[in-house]
């Protein structure tokens, strides 16, 4: 029952009172007070004690690990500050005079030369092919005859590296030759290509097919640009560079 209900009950009681009766005192609203629970003092104390105990345990469980960690950190920091630092040291020593280094590289021929035709015509036959290896002295040089009288005698058009190769490995000794491509000229007269176009005979003598100059005189023999001879090496796959290559004028040439 609330306070308002108690006031209404007091007015209802007042209405049922006799009319002549004079009220002894005016009615007043009295608030309703519910009866207090009937707990003994000892029970209340024990309840409060338990609550405090739970609170204390929770407090201890939360704070204790933090305190422990802080103490550990302080101990470690103190140890690091106080201990002697450890460093790696090396004693200097004299090294060797040489050091080995492994580096990648590429093997290349000492000299390479591109052979071009000196005269126009149609290719009649190939007498050498890719992979042929020949060994012999080289005497590639410009045909003096041809320079003096262009067109007088066949020769070869070659670049400067060929001439350089000639000077380096030149050997004038005639050897059993290799017939290189010959072409049929447009006019019908056969000429050899100058670059090694010598048809060396079995006796080692060079015999060009057309030695006649413009005037009809027989021109002197044309020196071949490249003179090669058969090699004992069957193929480039068996190539074995010698430890001490001899530079006595005989060189091995591979066609490619």
Partner 1 sequence: MGALVTAGNATSQALFKIAETDVVRVFVNVPQVFAPSVATGQEARILLRELPGTGLVGKVTRTAGRARSCGAFAS
Among 16, 66, 86, 240, binds partner 1 (CB under 8 A): 240
- As measured in angstroms, the least distance from the Cβ of 65 to partner 1 is 56
Among 133, 146, 200, 222, binds partner 1 (CB under 8 A): 133
What three-state secondary structure class fits 198? coil
Q: Is position 169 an interface residue for partner 1 (rule: CB under 8 A)?
A: yes
Residue 184, C-beta contacts closer than 8 angstroms, at least 6 positions apart: 121, 122, 124, 190
Among 28, 108, 172, 215, binds partner 1 (CB under 8 A): 108
Question: Rounded distance, CA 48 to CA 41, Å?
Answer: 11
Residue 231, C-beta contacts closer than 8 angstroms, at least 6 positions apart: 133, 134, 135, 136, 252
Residue carrying structure tokens 């000492």: 110
Q: Find the largest Cα–Cα distance for the chain.
A: 184
- As measured in angstroms, the least distance from the Cβ of 197 to partner 1 is 10
Among 195, 198, 200, 222, binds partner 1 (CB under 8 A): 195
- As measured in angstroms, the least distance from the Cβ of 191 to partner 1 is 11
Q: Is position 235 an interface residue for partner 1 (rule: CB under 8 A)?
A: no
**198, 95 Cβ separation under 8 angstroms:** no
- As measured in angstroms, the least distance from the Cβ of 80 to partner 1 is 39
Q: Is position 107 an interface residue for partner 1 (rule: CB under 8 A)?
A: yes
Q: Is position 243 an interface residue for partner 1 (rule: CB under 8 A)?
A: yes
């Amino acid at each position: 029952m609330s306070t308002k209900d108690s006031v209404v009950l007091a007015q209802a009681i007042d209405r049922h009172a006799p009319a002549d009766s004079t009220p002894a005192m005016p009615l007043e609203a009295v608030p309703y007070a519910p009866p207090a629970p009937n707990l003994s003092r000892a029970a209340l104390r024990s309840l409060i004690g338990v609550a405090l105990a739970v609170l204390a345990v929770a407090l201890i469980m939360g704070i204790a690990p933090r305190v422990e960690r802080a103490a550990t950190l302080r101990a470690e920091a103190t140890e690091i500050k106080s201990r002697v630092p450890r460093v790696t040291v090396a004693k200097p020593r004299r090294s060797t005079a040489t050091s080995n280094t492994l580096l990648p590289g590429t093997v290349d021929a000492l000299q390479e030369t591109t052979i071009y035709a000196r005269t126009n015509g149609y290719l009649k036959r190939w007498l050498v092919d890719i992979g042929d290896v020949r060994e012999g002295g080289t005497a590639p040089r410009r045909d003096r005859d041809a320079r003096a009288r262009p067109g007088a005698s066949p020769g070869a058009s070659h670049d400067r590296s060929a001439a350089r190769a000639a000077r380096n490995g030149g050997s004038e000794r005639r050897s059993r030759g290799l017939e290189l491509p010959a072409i049929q000229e447009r006019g019908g007269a056969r000429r050899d290509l100058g670059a090694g176009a010598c048809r060396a005979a079995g006796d080692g003598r060079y015999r060009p097919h057309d030695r006649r100059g413009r005037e009809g005189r027989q021109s002197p023999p044309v020196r071949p640009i490249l003179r090669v001879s058969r090699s004992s090496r069957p193929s480039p796959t068996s190539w074995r560079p010698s430890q001490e290559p001899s530079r006595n004028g005989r060189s091995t040439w591979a066609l490619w």
